[in-house]
Amino acid sequence: MDNRPIGFLDSGVGGLTVVRELLRQLPHEEVVYIGDSKRAPYGPRSAEQIRTFTWEMVQFLLTKNVKMIVFACNTATAVAWEEVKSKLDIPVLGVILPGSSAAIKNTASGDIGVIGTEMTIASDIYREKITDLAPQMNVHSLACPRFVPLVEANEMTSSLAKKVVYETLSPMVGQVDTLVLGCTHYPLLRPIIQNVMGKKVRLIDSGAECVRDISVLLNYFDINHQRDKQTRNHQFYTTANRDSFKAIAEKWLQLPVSVEHVEI
């Protein structure tokens, strides 16, 4: 048993999609979340910058005495997960492996689409992981650089969002039976993405898939939070505007959250 919180990091509000799934599957756990919205999006940045910013978030989470760190960001996972994982003595999880396995499990045709930020797609890490596990898979990748700014601006249902998603995804329509949402911001656009791709396409939420791995690791290391009746004191931090983060977080998580601004 270990009653310390689990640390989550993301370039902004995207990692909340992982937290929502954590609170659903593992409601006794406690969360410390850092979103670097001030410097989002990370996708168009250099690998060096993303590595530096990710380490800053990791250092911040370590000051909060976390028992595990979850990279609730595909871009940070693609660039810095291996390095951070090898340097820390607590478990560090990313979102890319769980998303890849889920896609393989779900596809019938073998045609898997992957959408993500410029960096995630340029790294080709999903194709690598998917074809490493199952070489017969055909991976179609597409960068969607306009999605994250829409989500950070709380524009998840606007007509601009519908237009951007439609225009961006049209090359993918009809090509795949399974689509990996390879950026944790994208599940916030899920209804529009599903609408454009068609009802039959299975959408894989890489962040939600990663919660199963969190659960496995908590059991393996025997570090589950005590299952008592006390309320959990989740902590949310943003490097940008508190109110805007709070509005998105409360709507998405369906609970009141207290958010603090922090400089890292």
For the annotated binding site for substrate, the residues are 10-11, 42-43, 74-75, 184-185
Residue 197: how many CA atoms within 13 Å on its side-chain side?
25
- Binding segment for ligand DGL (CB under 6 A), chosen from 40-48, 131-139, 156-164, 188-196, is 40-48
Residue 210 known to be catalytic: no
Judged by CB under 6 A, the residue of 183, 193, 210, 211 near ligand DGL is 183
Q: Compute the distance between CA of residue 34 and CA of residue 262 in angstroms, rounded to an integer.
A: 9
50-87 as b/e: b if 16+ CB within 10 A: bbebbbbbbebbeeeebbbbbbbbbbbbbbbbeebbee
- Binding segment for ligand DGL (CB under 6 A), chosen from 84-92, 105-113, 160-168, 180-188, is 180-188
Judged by CB under 6 A, the residue of 5, 23, 29, 74 near ligand DGL is 74
Q: Is residue 93 within the footprint of ligand DGL (CB under 6 A)?
A: no
Least separation in angstroms between residue 14's CB and ligand DGL is: 3
| Both tokens assigned to 156 | 């998840």
Q: Of 185 and 234, which has the nearer Cβ to ligand DGL? A: 185
Q: Compute the distance between CA of residue 133 and CA of residue 146 in angstroms, rounded to an integer.
A: 30
Three-state DSSP at 179 gives strand
Q: Of 75 and 100, which has the nearer Cβ to ligand DGL? A: 75
Contact string 121-160 vs ligand DGL (x = CB under 6 A): ---------------------------x------------
Q: Is residue 75 within the footprint of ligand DGL (CB under 6 A)?
A: yes
Judged by CB under 6 A, the residue of 54, 178, 184, 238 near ligand DGL is 184
- Count residues near ligand DGL (CB under 6 A): 18
Only one residue has tokens 């990748």, namely: 141
Q: Can you list the pairs that 81-87 forms with residues at least 24 positions away whose Cβ atoms lie under 8 Å?
A: 83/51, 84/54, 84/55, 84/58
Active site residues: 73, 183
